[in-house]
């Protein structure tokens, strides 16, 4: 039997990973979306690390596009979140999301309805898929602070996480091609941990599909093209599905789950259709993962006339 070598994140220290090899085994520490593969006659378990939050979709929002602005503009903004009815890890992501949204507001000169965007999946998808958007292509956390609020001494205090973020927001060149249409959907929008997901898409012209999982810990992984499916070309009128029924029969499945300790997570699948094949950005330290800024830079380098995007938000509830 052919020996299958996977990159295995054995220990995680920030963005650094120890890489090892196993015959048909891939076992990262945190798992959200898993791909169960049957390769060479034996089932291979590929557990995909939790990646970019659905709220990362807010990084894709911007005001009208202007040519030659791909270098972007650096801004420093703040965000905060109360550790109330959410875990500390969830509060961190909410604070980061608010800071990112504020960065976009400062560059775009508009105010985004954050509560609606976060809570209403339909609105989120509509806004992200609008014709005027851009990407945060680089970011750096400047400072974290904690504030304790207690107006009433007879009630428990509220802990507030505060973050200061420096972000570079870039705008893609060109204008969207109104004739380039893409339809995409998931089999459902709310999942319970362990349930299986599949993605369907269809375009009105020949294109190349890139399928990206945006999950709840601010990273990304490309599902297609990948070692599971290298072919990304979609002929005009053909239907895209991942995984296909034949792939499922051979042991390839997408199963969802919340982050450890989380009761609920909101995430998304991003379907990017391009007129021509687009090289993917370098992976994070030779791992299967991409950073938010790498994905943002990749998108902003593709002219709007050459691509169209559908973001499919979903929610995962633990059992």
Q: What angle do CA 216, 306, 266 make, to 5 degrees?
A: 15
Could you tell me which residue, 132 or 213, shows the higher pLDDT? 213
Among candidate residues 73, 81, 17, 55, the one with its CA nearest the CA of residue 265? 55
For the cut 80, the answer to whether the pLDDT of residue 244 exceeds it is yes
State how far the Cα of 209 lies from the Cα of 309, in Å rounded to an integer. Answer: 10
Average pLDDT over residues 222-241: 92
For the cut 60, the answer to whether the pLDDT of residue 155 exceeds it is yes
For the cut 60, the answer to whether the pLDDT of residue 8 exceeds it is no
State how far the Cα of 243 lies from the Cα of 35, in Å rounded to an integer. Answer: 9
Residue entry with tokens 């609020």: 149
State how far the Cα of 302 lies from the Cα of 38, in Å rounded to an integer. Answer: 34
SS3 of residue 249 by DSSP? helix
For the cut 50, the answer to whether the pLDDT of residue 35 exceeds it is no
Among candidate residues 184, 163, 252, 260, the one with its CA nearest the CA of residue 216? 260
pLDDT digits (tens, 9 = 90+) for 203-220: 999 999 999 888 777 678
Distances 13 to 29, 95, 111, 259 between C-alpha atoms, Å? 12, 22, 36, 18
Please report the pLDDT score of residue 109 as a whole number: 58
290 neighbors 222 (Cβ within 8 angstroms) = yes
Helix (H) or strand (E) segment spanning residue 212: strand 207-214
Among candidate residues 173, 231, 172, 243, the one with its CA nearest the CA of residue 207? 231
Token representation of residue 174: 């060109």
State how far the Cα of 18 lies from the Cα of 28, in Å rounded to an integer. Answer: 11
State how far the Cα of 53 lies from the Cα of 30, in Å rounded to an integer. Answer: 14
- Entry pTM: 0.64
pLDDT digits (tens, 9 = 90+) for 167-178: 887 766 778 899
For the cut 80, the answer to whether the pLDDT of residue 46 exceeds it is no
Could you tell me which residue, 26 or 144, shows the higher pLDDT? 144
Could you tell me which residue, 16 or 278, shows the higher pLDDT? 278
Q: What angle do CA 280, 281, 282 make, to 5 degrees?
A: 120
* Domain boundaries defined on the chain: 8-51+175-317, 54-170
Q: What percent of the chain has pLDDT over 70?
A: 66
Token representation of residue 108: 């775009």
For the cut 70, the answer to whether the pLDDT of residue 10 exceeds it is no
94 neighbors 86 (Cβ within 8 angstroms) = yes
Helix (H) or strand (E) segment spanning residue 161: strand 158-170
């Amino acid at each position: 039997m052919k020996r299958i070598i996977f990159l295995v994140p054995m220990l995680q220290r920030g963005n650094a990973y120890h890489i090892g090899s196993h015959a048909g085994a891939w076992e990262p520490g945190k798992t959200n979306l898993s791909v169960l593969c049957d390769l060479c006659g034996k089932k291979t378990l590929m557990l995909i690390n939790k990646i970019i939050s659905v709220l990362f979709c807010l990084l894709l929002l911007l005001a009208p596009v202007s040519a030659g602005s791909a270098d972007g503009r650096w801004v420093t903004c703040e965000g905060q979140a109360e550790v109330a009815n959410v875990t500390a890890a969830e509060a961190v992501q909410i604070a980061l999301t608010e800071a990112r949204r504020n960065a976009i507001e400062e560059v775009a000169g508009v105010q985004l309805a954050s509560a609606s965007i976060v809570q209403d999946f339909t609105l989120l998808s509509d806004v992200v898929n609008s014709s005027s958007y851009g990407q945060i292509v680089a970011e750096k956390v400047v400072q974290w602070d904690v504030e304790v609020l207690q107006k009433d001494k007879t009630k428990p205090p509220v802990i507030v996480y505060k973050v200061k973020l420096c972000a570079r927001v870039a705008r893609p060149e060109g204008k969207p091609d109104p004739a380039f249409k893409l339809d995409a959907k998931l089999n459902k929008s709310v999942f319970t941990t362990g349930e299986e997901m599949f993605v369907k898409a269809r375009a009105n012209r020949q294109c190349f599909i890139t399928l990206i999982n945006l999950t709840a810990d601010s990273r990304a992984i490309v599902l297609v093209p990948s070692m599971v499916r290298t072919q990304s070309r979609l002929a005009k009128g053909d239907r895209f599905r991942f995984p296909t029924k034949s792939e499922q029969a051979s042991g390839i499945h997408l199963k969802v789950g919340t982050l450890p300790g989380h009761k609920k997570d909101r995430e998304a699948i991003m379907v990017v259709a391009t007129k021509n094949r687009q090289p993917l950005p370098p992976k994070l330290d030779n791992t299967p993962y991409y950073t938010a800024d790498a994905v943002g830079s990749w998108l902003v380098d593709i002219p709007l006339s050459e691509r169209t995007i559908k973001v499919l938000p979903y929610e995962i509830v633990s059992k």
